[in-house]
């Protein structure tokens, strides 16, 4: 076999291989998106059955961080925004085996980011493989606890001060 045919055959084989690989990836992504969308629809039904009202889907929020003093903008997108009674919740819908587990690093980080970005009263994790809904709460940070203690001490001090003023001054 002449060398040009061999080279041409190798190139053609490489191109076909790349095309098949890309087609397989696209098909896998389409299946993943279909499963995710089906999970979101099922989550909406589950939430409605549990008394939640759907406020919005694919809720986007812009946020920024500073990297070496330079502002870096980014966008966060939560699956659902719902309410029940007077509380608003951000909902993350998960399908599959490991993703719905709050111990999974990626899921936990995503929920923590939602807690920081969205001005909501709570977080819900919808595990659509198990058809379960979990309320997620993160403990307050040390600085939040310190602010709460300082505020409480200030309010108690103000109450004691007013009470003493009333007792001593006869208001």
Tell me 52's DSSP state.
-
Tell me 141's DSSP state.
P
Same domain, 80 and 157: no
Please give the average per-residue pLDDT across 14-41, as a whole number.
Answer: 79
**Total count of domains within the chain:** 2
Tell me 100's DSSP state.
T
Tokens of 139: 């403990």
Q: Reduced to 3 states, what is the DSSP secondary structure of residue 2?
A: coil
Same domain, 112 and 64: yes
Same domain, 49 and 80: yes
Count, residues in the chain: 171
Same domain, 165 and 126: no
Same domain, 84 and 117: yes
Q: Does residue 68 surpass a pLDDT of 70?
A: yes
Same domain, 117 and 156: no
DSSP one-letter string for 137-163: -PPPPHHHHHHHHHHHHHHHHHHHHHH
Tokens of 80: 């659902």
Strand partners, 60: 77
pLDDT of residue 99: 66
Domain that holds residue 73: 3-138
Same domain, 128 and 68: yes
pLDDT band at residue 160, thresholds of 50, 70 and 90? confident
pLDDT of residue 170: 65
Same domain, 13 and 89: yes
Dihedral over alpha carbons 106, 33, 62, 90 (to 10 degrees): -70
pLDDT of residue 79: 93
Same domain, 92 and 128: yes
Tokens of 138: 């993160």
Q: Does residue 138 surpass a pLDDT of 70?
A: yes
pTM, to two decimals: 0.67
């Amino acid at each position: 076999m002449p060398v040009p045919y061999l080279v041409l055959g190798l190139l053609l084989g490489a191109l076909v291989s790349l095309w098949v690989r890309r087609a397989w990836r696209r098909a896998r992504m389409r299946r993943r998106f279909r499963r995710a969308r089906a999970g979101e629809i099922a989550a909406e039904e589950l939430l409605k059955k549990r008394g939640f009202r759907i406020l919005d889907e694919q809720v986007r929020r812009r946020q920024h961080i500073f990297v070496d003093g330079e502002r870096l903008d980014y966008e966060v997108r939560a699956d659902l925004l719902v309410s029940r009674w007077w509380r608003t919740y951000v909902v993350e819908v998960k399908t599959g085996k490991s993703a719905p587990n709050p111990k999974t690093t990626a899921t936990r980080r995503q929920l923590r980011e939602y807690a920081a970005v969205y001005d909501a009263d709570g977080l819900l994790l919808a595990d659509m493989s198990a058809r379960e809904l979990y309320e997620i709460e993160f403990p307050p940070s040390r600085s939040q606890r310190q602010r709460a203690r300082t505020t409480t001490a200030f309010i108690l001090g103000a109450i004691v001060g007013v009470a003493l003023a009333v007792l001593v001054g006869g208001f």
